[in-house]
Amino acid sequence: MSIQPEPGRAITLLLGGARSGKSRYAQEAAAACHRVAYIATAKVTDEEMGRKIARHRAERPAAWTTFEEPLALETVVREQGGCHEALVIDCLTVWTANLLDHHEFDVAAAVSHADPLCEALSQVKAKVFIVSNEVGSGVVPAYESGRAYREALGEINQRVARVADHVILMVAGYPLVVK
């Protein structure tokens, strides 16, 4: 898959299911840029997550600057959006889970972080590639916490999609342009 990002500033939201190729697409698109900041939202919570984070680190070019921020994503976007040619944010899915955990599953409190993020995104000069899962296509979760998560992530994805220049749905490694 050949990816040529458009010249100048653009915000691209990449949605899809687990292992759909979202992160790979974002990294390949950003690789065309010289100064890239990779903003990771995950934190090591168990051995499996530790292995996943290690795999993601190994897949990134060594020249990229990595920022690990599980909660204050908008701060890193503001601080790095003018210093880098591209930002890769991976991912809103984990960021939302972190926010829900931080706010004891208060959906409104978690979603309230989307507006400052969108404001920061609208002010950056860099190309931005944002990875997030699309969780609205499955069954209704059986547990209250799962329903809260789906609600929060769905609302955050919608808000980010509104400020994005491009929205791409990844299916089996192939991009489908939504916006």
Residues noted as catalytic:
56
What is the total residue count of the chain?
A: 179
Question: What does the radius of gyration of the chain's CA atoms come to, in whole angstroms?
Answer: 15
Say if CB 37 and CB 64 are below 8 A apart: yes
- Under DSSP, the state recorded for 10 is -
C-alpha span between 114 and 96 (Å, rounded): 9
Cα dihedral across residues 113, 116, 119, 120: positive or negative = negative
